[in-house]
Amino acid sequence: MGADETGTVPPVTGRGYSPEQRASALVEALPYIQRFRGAVVVVKFGGNAMTDPDLFRTFAADMVLLRSVGLHPVVVHGGGPQIGELLERLGMASEFRDGLRVTDAATLDVARMVLVGKVGRDIVGAINVHGAHAVGLSGEDGTLLVARPRSPELGFVGDIVEVRPAIVERLLAEDMIPVVSSIGTDGAGQAFNINADTVAGALAGALRAEKVIYLTDVPGLLLDVDDPGSLVARASVAEVEALVADGVVTGGMIPKVRACIDAVHAGARSAHMLDGRVPHVVLLELFTDAGIGTMITADAPTPETP
C-alpha cells in the first residue's frame, strides 16, 4: 500500500487490484483499526479536497468508514475561497492584512452564511448520503468556541480563548460525526470569524484527540519545496521549531507547521499534514504501514506500530 516506483501512492479503490491484494490491504489495516478504536480524530478539511467533486465525495465516504470501524471523526472546515467568491458576486471588496480578511459586520454575515449555511451543509449532506451520521455545528452552538477580537483593524476576526466541547462530546457519544464551521462567539451574542486551522487544533486539544489531521495542497513538510523526496515523515515539535528558526521552513509552510505545533501543545497526541489531493489519504495515513505525509508529536517520535 506504499508508494510505487514513481513515488505515487495508488488510490485505495479496489479497482485494478487482485483479490489477494485487496485482502492483504484489509489484513494490514486490522491492527491499526484495533489500536485506534474509540479514538477521536479531528480532520481539518480544506484545499483542493474541498473543491474537487470526486475528492469531496471520497472524503465523505472515508469519514463514514472511520466511524464504521470504531473511530470518532470530527470534521472542521473553513471556506475562505467560497467567502471571497460570494463577496465578489455581491460587489463587496475583500481587504487582507497579514493574510487575514478584514471582517466588518457585512462581511461577517457573508462568512456565516457561507460557512454555516453552505459549506457545512454540503459536507453534512455528502456524509449523510451513506446514512444519517453527520451533524453540522458552528462554534456558536453551545458556545463551543469562545472568542475575542484579534485587533480593531481586523474587525470581527477572532482568537479562541476557550473551547467548551460538551456539545461535540455528546454527539460523539451518539456515534455521530460533528462537522464544525469556524465561527466563534464572545458568549454575549457577537460572532467572530476564526481561522479553521486554529479551530481544528484547539478542538483537538480540548477533546484530547489521538490525531489532528490537516488536509493541504502539499505532500507534507518539505525541507526543499521543489523536492518531493525531501519530505519529513516524522518529527518532534522541537525539531520542527528548529527548522523554522533556522529558515529551512519558510513562507506559506510556516502557518501550516505552526497549526500542527499549536495542536500538539493544546493536547492532541499527534498532528499530521497530509496531501488532500491524494484520494483516501486519511486512510493511507491511519491504516497502512507506510503512512503518508508528515506526523508531528511532542517528543521525538518512533515509527507507529500497532
Q: Judge whether 75 and 124 are in contact, CB under 8 Å.
A: no
Q: Judge whether 162 and 154 are in contact, CB under 8 Å.
A: no
Q: Exposed, middle or buried: residue 292 (CB in 10 Å: 0-12, 13-18, 19+)? A: buried
Look up the CATH number of the domain holding residue 74.
3.40.1160.10
Phi, psi angle pair for 170, to nearest 5°: -65, -40
Query: Which cell numbers hold the place of 95?
Result: 481587504
Asked if residue 7 belongs to a domain, the reply is no
d(C-alpha 15, C-alpha 272), whole Å: 27
The CB density around residue 185, as the number of other CB atoms within 10 Å, is 20
Question: Which domain covers residue 175, as residue numbers?
Answer: 20-297
Asked if residue 67 belongs to a domain, the reply is yes
Distances in Å between the Cα of 300 and the Cα atoms of 229, 246, 293 are 21, 19, 17
Asked if residue 304 belongs to a domain, the reply is no
No. of helices (H) and no. of strands (E), the chain: 11, 14
Q: Judge whether 42 and 77 are in contact, CB under 8 Å.
A: no
Domains of the chain: total: 1
Asked if residue 8 belongs to a domain, the reply is no
Contact partners, residue 77, CB within 8 Å, separation at least 6: 44, 45, 46, 50, 115, 119, 120, 123, 179, 180, 181, 182, 196
Please give the pLDDT value at position 302: 55
Asked if residue 128 belongs to a domain, the reply is yes
Asked if residue 36 belongs to a domain, the reply is yes
Q: How many CA atoms lie within 13 A of 113 on its CB side?
A: 13
Please give the pLDDT value at position 55: 93
Asked if residue 93 belongs to a domain, the reply is yes
d(C-alpha 251, C-alpha 294), whole Å: 18
Please give the pLDDT value at position 305: 45
Asked if residue 199 belongs to a domain, the reply is yes
Low-confidence ranges of the chain (pLDDT < 70): 1-17, 300-306
Greatest alpha-carbon span in the chain = 61
d(C-alpha 65, C-alpha 81), whole Å: 28
Q: Shortest CA distance to 257 belongs to which of 291, 293, 210?
A: 293
What's the distance, CA 104 to chain centroid?
26
Q: Judge whether 77 and 177 are in contact, CB under 8 Å.
A: no
